C-alpha cells in the first residue's frame, strides 16, 4: 500500500446511523454501561452481573470451559499443559476476541479489566472512567503452535496505534491501547515491535500504545464474554457504527 501520514480520525456529529446506534445498540462507551448491560441482559436473560469473588493468589489462566468470575489474577507466562498467556488492550474488548479466536494455536480468549487501582471493578465502574483500568483481552495460547510475535502482529493490525486514550468511537483511558507483558521476554518483544512500528514511515505521529507493567487481570462479567458469538447482529452493528473497520482499512489496507 502507498505510504501516507496516518492521523486519528476527526469525530463528526452523529447522523441518522449514529443516532440509531445510540438508541438500538449497546456500545462499549455508554456512560455507566447502561446500554451495554442491557445488551448483556438480553443475551443472558438477566441484567445482573455475576457476583464478584475475592482476589486470589496467582492461578492457572481460565480455559474455555472454566467458570468465569471477577476474581483478579496476577499474570504469569506459564500455564497448565505448557500453554502461555498474553494480555492486550485494544479498545472495546468485544472486538478484540474474534481476531485471536481465529488463530490456530490460540486456546481461549477472555475479556476483562486491567491496569487500574480499584479491586474487582465492575463494567459500570470501568466504562464510567476513573478506575484506571483498560478493557483488555487475555489470550491463552500454545507457544508450540503460535508465538508471541504473531500475537503482537495481530494486535497492531486490529487497533489504531496513534490514537491517544481512545479507540475508534470509544473515548477515555479505559479504551486506551496497551500491551501488558507478563514476563521480561514478552516485554522485550513488545518494545521491539513498537519501535519497528514507529519507524514505519506511515506513522509520523508517536505510537500512542503503551507498554504497561503486569497487573491484576479481572475477568469481565459473563455477558461480555464471547459477545460477538452470542449477539452477532448487535455486535456487527456496533462495530460498523463505531467505524472500526473503516479506520483499520485506512491504516492497514488489506493486511491481516
Cβ neighbourhood burial of 21 (10 Å; 0-12, 13-18, 19+)? buried
| Positive/negative CA dihedral, 208, 213, 214, 216 | negative
**Can you read off the three cell numbers belonging to residue 117?**
487501582
> 36: Cβ–Cβ under 8 A, 6 or more apart, which residues?
26, 27, 28, 30, 123, 127, 224
Query: How many degrees, rounded to 5, is the angle at CA 84 between CA 83 and CA 86?
Result: 150
Count how many Cα atoms sit within 13 Å of the Cα of residue 171 in the half-sphere of its side chain: 4
How far is the CA of 218 from the CAs of 27, 70, 113, 143, 233, in angstroms?
Answer: 20, 5, 5, 23, 27
- Among candidate residues 92, 95, 169, 242, the one labeled active-site is 92
Cα separation, 131 vs 77, whole angstroms: 26
**Can 92 be counted among the known catalytic residues?**
yes
Q: Residue 110 forms beta bridges with which residues?
A: 138
| Cβ atoms within 10 Å of 6's Cβ, excluding its own | 17
Residue 52's φ and ψ, nearest 5 degrees, are -85, 140
CA 189 to chain centre: 19
Cα separation, 55 vs 161, whole angstroms: 32
Active site residues: 92
Amino acid at each position: 500500500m502507498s505510504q501516507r501520514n496516518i492521523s486519528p480520525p476527526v469525530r463528526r456529529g452523529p447522523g441518522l446511523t449514529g443516532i440509531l446506534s445510540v438508541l438500538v445498540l449497546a456500545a462499549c462507551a455508554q456512560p455507566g454501561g447502561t446500554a451495554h448491560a442491557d445488551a448483556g441482559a438480553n443475551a443472558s436473560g438477566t441484567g445482573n452481573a455475576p457476583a464478584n469473588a475475592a482476589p486470589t493468589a496467582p492461578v492457572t489462566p481460565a480455559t474455555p470451559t472454566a467458570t468465569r468470575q471477577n476474581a483478579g489474577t496476577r499474570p504469569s507466562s506459564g500455564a497448565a499443559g505448557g500453554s502461555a498467556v498474553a494480555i492486550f488492550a485494544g479498545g472495546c474488548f468485544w472486538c478484540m476476541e474474534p481476531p485471536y479466536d481465529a488463530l490456530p494455536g490460540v486456546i481461549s480468549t477472555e475479556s476483562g479489566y486491567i491496569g487500574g487501582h480499584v479491586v474487582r471493578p465492575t463494567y459500570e465502574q470501568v466504562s464510567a472512567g476513573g478506575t484506571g483500568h483498560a478493557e483488555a483481552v487475555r489470550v491463552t495460547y500454545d507457544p508450540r503452535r503460535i508465538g508471541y510475535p504473531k500475537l503482537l502482529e495481530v494486535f497492531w493490525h486490529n487497533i489504531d496505534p496513534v490514537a491517544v486514550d481512545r479507540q475508534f468511537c470509544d473515548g477515555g483511558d479505559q479504551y486506551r491501547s496497551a500491551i501488558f507483558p507478563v514476563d521480561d521476554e514478552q516485554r522485550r518483544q513488545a518494545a521491539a515491535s513498537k519501535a519497528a512500528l514507529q519507524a514505519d514511515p506511515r506513522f509520523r505521529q508517536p505510537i500512542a500504545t503503551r507498554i504497561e507493567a503486569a497487573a491484576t487481570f479481572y475477568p469481565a462479567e459473563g455477558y461480555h464474554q464471547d459477545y460477538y458469538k452470542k449477539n452477532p447482529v448487535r455486535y456487527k452493528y456496533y462495530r460498523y457504527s463505531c467505524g472500526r473497520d473503516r479506520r483499520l482499512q485506512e491504516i492497514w489496507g488489506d493486511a491481516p
